[in-house]
Structure 1
């Protein structure tokens, strides 16, 4: 089943519209090639983000990852945590503001280390 701008997987809903539209386009091509839907979503999302990165080169990238004391915000390639919170939810509240104030993007990870979401701050 093909996806459209009105009917697409739930996991694409938090993407910026331009990235989501690119992911839908790529995902449909992958589905046509016989990829399983879950795999198509993952590949399409990754490729759409990489496509968008070319237009976002001036933005710093910050990562939300697991930390010994809960969750941390680090700048990509950074050595130390910018901030740490006990819960992911508390950290995301602060991290979104921080990324916005610093014209950055957030890459949010799951506990297992896989990417959960990319958030483009304005």
Structure 2
């Protein structure tokens, strides 16, 4: 069920209004892409918090001025693939970076200079989608 700023999950009630707005926007997009409510909410919360942490003051101000999300908003469903939701999150070394990518996804979620940062992010993603993490060594062999 889509949400708006007047009707949203109880888990968002104590959020800063900007964080709540971003979470609703992301959650509604996930719902449009076939995610179930109970999976869309934690993923949206995590992504919204990440956005809020990384966004510049100008990005935050622009988003705050943007119209509020509505239940009837249309979302691009061409890029998301709910079939990947249960797939493991992999960490591997490629082109001088540690890559975090859901198995069988077309593109990486993130890249990092340090393996520990990549592993931390992979665990965060996997926890949100209730899947597991597969870690590889720099030589491509699987880490135990």
Higher-strand-fraction structure: 1
TM-score by length of 2: 0.39
Instruction: Name which one, 1 or 2, has greater alpha-carbon Rg.
Output: 2
